[in-house]
Amino acid sequence: MVVDQIHDLQQVYRKILYSMSRPGNISRLNSITEKMNEEFPCNHAFLLSALTFIDAEVTFHVIANDEKKARLMDIISSYTIAKTEAVDKADFILMLQDAPEYQIEQALIECKTGNLHDPQLSATWIVECDLLSNSTGLSLNGPGINGVQQLQTGLHPLFWQKRNEKVNEYPLGIDVILADFSSQVACIPRTTSVTITEVS
């Protein structure tokens, strides 16, 4: 992987931070992903997002089919020295596109939401998507959004239903980073209200 783990990942960090402050806004990582010529068990934007936030001080949990799960765990651990953890204790939950639905649902039920004294002690989800676009699918509103923002993620509506249950008791909740196969990222923090406008 020909990526500068300081300069390039700082760029990724800034773009994700921008998207987190403007929920539903799509940022492009093409200038960085085009340097990546290796095959990974996930899309390049997803891997860059994970490497940007995961380090030896945090833990992670992978939701994917068994083969991809083992490969991704090895890659993340070797680049970051981070340790894997059970889903109810992990700081970051990495969900690949082919993750079994029952595992996703269980992880959304069990993952950390922080507590009233330390709401930041919650899980951040990094989620692999097919293609992000600002078309119908989800209607977002809340801080950082002027009116309503549309976002299509391609994720099953059940994911967003369960996510909404996790953010019912703000400031407790989870934050979501979405990364697609076109090197795009978007974010939906816990402060954002999500209405499902398209049912699959």
pLDDT of the residue at 3: 75
| Mean pLDDT across the chain | 96
pLDDT at residue 50 above 60? yes
Extents of the domains making up the chain? 7-196
CA dihedral 97, 98, 99, 101 (to 10 degrees): 100
Indicate the CATH number of 7-196 among 3.65.10.10, 3.10.110.10, 3.40.50.11310, 2.160.10.10: 3.40.50.11310
Measure the CA–CA gap between 149 and 134, rounded to whole angstroms: 7
Measure the CA–CA gap between 30 and 74, rounded to whole angstroms: 25
For 89-119, write each residue's pLDDT tens digit.
999 999 999 999 999 999 999 999 999 999 9
pLDDT of the residue at 1: 62
Q: What is the pTM of this model?
A: 0.97
- Mean pLDDT, rounded, for 46-57: 98
- Mean pLDDT, rounded, for 121-125: 98
Among 112, 115, 195, 106, which residue's Cα sits nearest to residue 150?
195
Q: Which residue has the tokens 């799509």?
A: 26
What whole-number percentage of the chain has pLDDT above 70? 98
For 56-100, write each residue's pLDDT tens digit.
999 999 999 999 999 999 999 999 999 999 999 999 999 999 999
Measure the CA–CA gap between 80 and 55, rounded to whole angstroms: 5
pLDDT of the residue at 2: 62
Question: Using 50, 70 and 90 to split pLDDT, how confident is the model at 199?
Answer: low
What whole-number percentage of the chain has pLDDT above 90? 94
CA dihedral 100, 171, 12, 109 (to 10 degrees): -10
pLDDT at residue 4 above 80? no
